[in-house]
Amino acid sequence: MSSEDDEESSSKGETDPLETGGGCDNGEPPQTMPFQPFGGLCSLISSHLSYLWFAYPVACRFVSYVVSLVVMTFLLDNMINPTLRFGDMPTDWAAQRDMLTFYRYHAEVQHWCLGCGKPFCSCGDPLLPASRVESPNWTKAFQENKLQISEYVENHLNVSDLDVAFIGESAVEAMGGRWMGLPKDELKTIGNIFEHRFSKDKGASVEGITLGLAGDSTKNVLYRLIHGEMPRGFEPKIWWVHVGMNDLAREQCSEELVVLGVLRVVEEILNRHPKARVVINALLPMAALPSAQNEMDCRDATHRHNPTMDKMKHKQKKFKFFRFVEREMPLWTSIYATNKQLFKYSELHDRVAFFDATHIFAERQSDSRGRYFTLLSDYIDTCGHPTEAGYSRWEDAMVHRIQYLLSELREGNPELFVAAPKMPEEKTGAKEAPEKPMMGANDGQEADPPVPEAPKDEVSVQGETPQ
């Protein structure tokens, strides 16, 4: 370029883009492109995938089908495979002080079925008594229990000798060597174990009687108590309650309903027997659902393994992934939560004690920080039925606890240990008026008049305390 051209461009105000550092003619600074850290990576991956798709089309189609199948299975699993929750206790039922509170708030229970994800279960209202009269065997066994009570009252001149009455379900009935009201040869040894520990005629230090029926839930036990198993003149000093296993395992009721059912039974006894003590036996460890189909499997399993139970497994999918096989329920999580609530209730009520039998039938693993327990199959099967050795250990611990409670009762209520003279029988043939159950037990019936409470004294808890 000549000097004349330079002078002409400078006279027109033109500038060299290289000198200004940009090509803008408006005097603004040049604009820079934003920094994109993943832009280059995405472009690189996209280019490689495009290359692979054109180079290996068959393999890429196969991989895409597999990925699509996995995604669809995951979405399907989340849509039709609900997450079940166990061990939830939204309401602190242990803090409720009377049955009126139970009736007021039990309708607010959010989940009546175990797992919170099951739409249907066979649970009924735990606060209302229910019979099993549709079963002739149950009706006959119930009559046998009432006959046993009447014979005991008639044959024992000193009724105050009766120290404890065991009330509950199959574990209690088998303790006496019976099943559905009939003696069983396979339970004869277990019945002898009970006689040597709870029959003073056999040299025992404690006198006891068993009032259990196999398959009963808390509602059925409540019905039995109201309709004949707590007659006038039958005054055991201690009522030992073991119930709730069938509510949880067979009927698959939620933990809240199980607690409500057990406390309803306890409150009925406390109202009828104001000076007696009530002991709530903890729900026994269980790793499988008992049913008629797997009854033999539960017994055979005791010779194969000692299953490990996790008390912190609060949620799981209902079915196993891909196969959609229904999982076994983590029953120990629910049992542990239920026992914890029952223990808390006993701590807040002076006339109620809690007996934790967990340490008798299960062992806490030392390296699990208290989370895992090992079921001792020599003493109990996977469905919660104690063996002969298990009954022996269990009843030994019971005797020790009962003796301690009797010593406390002797100090606070010595009149319970004084033989009351029997009333002469009336010759007029007049029948005694039937006993009226408390309000809420039967519709349209009145309640008994209030009774004074027994003196308050501390109740110590033996055994392992739920954490």
Q: Would residue 405 count as lying in a domain?
A: yes
Looking at the fold, whether 168 and 72 belong to one and the same domain comes out as: no
Strands (DSSP E) along 250-359, which ranges?
277-281, 308-310, 315-317, 352-355
Q: Both 203 and 91 in a single domain?
A: yes
Domain assignment present for 191: yes
Question: Is residue 391 in some structural domain?
Answer: yes
Look at residue 458 and tell me if it is in a domain.
no
Assigned domain for 269 exists: yes
How far is 126 from 255, CA to CA, in rounded Å? 12
Query: Rounded to an integer, what distance in angstroms lies between the CA atom of residue 266 and that of residue 222?
Result: 9
* Assigned domain for 434 exists: no
Q: Is the domain of 130 the same as that of 231?
A: yes
Domain count for the chain? 2
Residue 69 lies in domain: 51-80
63 and 137: one domain?
A: no
Rounded-to-integer distance, Cα 247 and Cα 114, Å: 10
Measured at the alpha carbon of residue 170, what is the angle toward residues 165 and 171, in degrees to the nearest 5? 65
Provide the residue type at 349 as one letter: H
179 shares a domain with 58: no
Same domain, 161 and 305: yes
Residue type, 232: R
Residues 201 and 56 placed together within one structural domain of the fold: no
Whether residue 293 is found in the same domain as residue 234: yes
State whether 69 and 181 are in the same domain. Answer: no
pTM score: 0.70
| Domain identity same for 203 and 347 | yes
Q: Tell whether 153 is covered by a domain.
A: yes
The answer to whether residues 343 and 380 belong to one domain is yes
Per-residue tens of pLDDT for the chain, all 467 residues:
455 555 554 555 555 544 444 444 555 555 555 555 566 777 878 887 888 888 888 888 888 888 888 888 777 766 665 556 666 676 776 776 666 666 666 666 767 777 655 556 778 888 899 999 999 999 999 999 999 998 888 876 555 688 999 999 999 999 999 999 899 999 999 999 999 999 988 889 999 999 999 999 999 999 999 999 999 889 899 999 999 999 988 888 888 889 999 999 999 999 999 989 999 999 999 877 655 444 444 554 444 456 665 555 555 554 555 555 555 557 888 898 899 999 999 998 889 999 999 999 998 877 666 677 888 889 998 888 899 999 999 999 999 999 999 999 888 877 777 765 544 444 434 444 444 443 333 443 434 444 444 444 433 334 444 54
Residue 4 in any domain: the answer is: no
CATH code for the domain of 411: 3.40.50.1110
Of 374, 399, 417, which residue constitutes the final position of a domain?
A: 417
Nearby residues of 324 by Cβ (< 8 Å), 6 or more positions away: 81
Domain boundary among 41, 63, 80: 80
Tell me the C-alpha distance between 319 and 327, whole Å: 5
Residue with tokens 């166990």: 86
184 and 167 co-located in one domain = yes
